[in-house]
Amino acid sequence: MDKERTILIVDDEETTLRGLTKSLEVWADGRFRIRAAASAGEALQTAQAEKVHVLVTDICMPEMTGLELIEEMQQMGQQPVSLILSGHSEFEFAQTAIRLGVLNYLVKPVQKKKLIQSVEEALEKEFTQERAGIMQKAADHSLADLEQDHKQMTSPVQAGKDYIDLHMDRQMTLKEVAEHVHLNPSYFSVIFKDQTGLTFSEYVTRKRIQKAKQLLLTTTIPVAEIAETAGYQTAKYFNKIFKEYEGLTPGQFRRNHK
């Protein structure tokens, strides 16, 4: 989590907004961007200008309720983890809040400790969701199906897959993996294809590309280093294979998904 994460506070009560903003600014200490909006309209303007990761909003405002604000932001493509503020102890909007994925409901006046704890939980949830989204973008559905069907594989094939996964950062041959599982290379090749639906070389390539995509999406490591980490001896060859599978160069893939 870093300074690129934005926490937006929305409240039409000036004193409350100022107090919440100051509390979070002191707590954040520059680690996150803290934005404040005195109305739903201002909040939507902020959401148009930048991605909002955590939303802390009053529920009762003149233009629209906090829940309506969340819906508007979702229609804009923004999916912040949301916290609701209210001056009432009764939770009249429970069903709508649950449907919209509101994480927590804070009753005014909000205790500073409770506010910070809730924001930390929201950041953690947002970070987890973002990671899940990244992993989904990097996922290879053929490999995902294999992981679900691993119980149907015999021990040698599973052991071979495990060996490949552990040595992804270097060159390896079918003969090497077959010897590791104590089988003849030709026989191992046949049963591997039969049980995985992929040839040995295709499985290795798909695993390498998937690993590369994860690194492209989650790090700023140069493409040449990613190529090496994924087991390719040259960046040029890595770029060629990556484009064959993804239709984009590694650099284009990284830019498109950032």
* Digit-coded pLDDT (tens) for 164-215: 999 999 999 999 999 999 999 999 999 999 999 999 999 999 999 999 999 9
- The fold adopted by the segment(s) 141-257 is Arc Repressor Mutant, subunit A (1.10.10)
Contact 46, 8 (CB under 8 A): yes
| Tens digits of residue pLDDT in 136-173 | 888 887 787 777 766 678 899 999 999 999 999 999 99
- Of the options 1.10.10.10, 3.40.605.10, 3.40.630.30, 3.40.50.2300, the CATH number for the domain spanning 6-133: 3.40.50.2300
pLDDT given at position 174: 96
For residue 61, how many other CB atoms are within 10 A of its CB? 21
**How large is the average pLDDT for residues 65-82?**
94
Following DSSP, what letter does each residue of 94-112 receive, concatenated? HHHHHHTT--EEEESSPPH
pLDDT at 48 over 90: yes
> With contact defined as beta carbons under 8 Å apart, do 117 and 98 qualify?
no
- The confidence score (pLDDT) of residue 1 equals 46
Alpha helices in the chain (DSSP H): 14-28, 40-49, 66-75, 94-99, 112-138, 141-148, 155-166, 174-180, 185-196, 200-218, 223-229, 235-246, 250-257
DSSP assignments along 149-191, one per residue: TGGGS-HHHHHHHHHHHHTTTS---HHHHHHHTTS-HHHHHHH
- pLDDT band at residue 2 using 50, 70 and 90 as cut-offs: low
Measured at the CA of 135, the angle between CA 215 and CA 154, to 5 degrees, comes to 100
Residue ranges per domain, the chain? 6-133, 141-257
42: burial class by Cβ within 10 Å (0-12, 13-18, 19+)? middle
Give the chain's mean pLDDT: 90
Q: Which of 95-99, 152-156, 169-173, 231-235 has the lowest mean pLDDT?
A: 95-99
- Identical fold for domains 6-133 and 141-257, yes or no, is no
Give the span between the Cα atoms of 38 and 9, in whole angstroms: 8
Residue 254 three-state SS: helix
- Mean pLDDT, to the nearest integer, of 114-127? 95
DSSP 8-state assignment for residue 37: E
Q: What is the pLDDT of residue 139?
A: 83
pLDDT at 234 over 70: yes
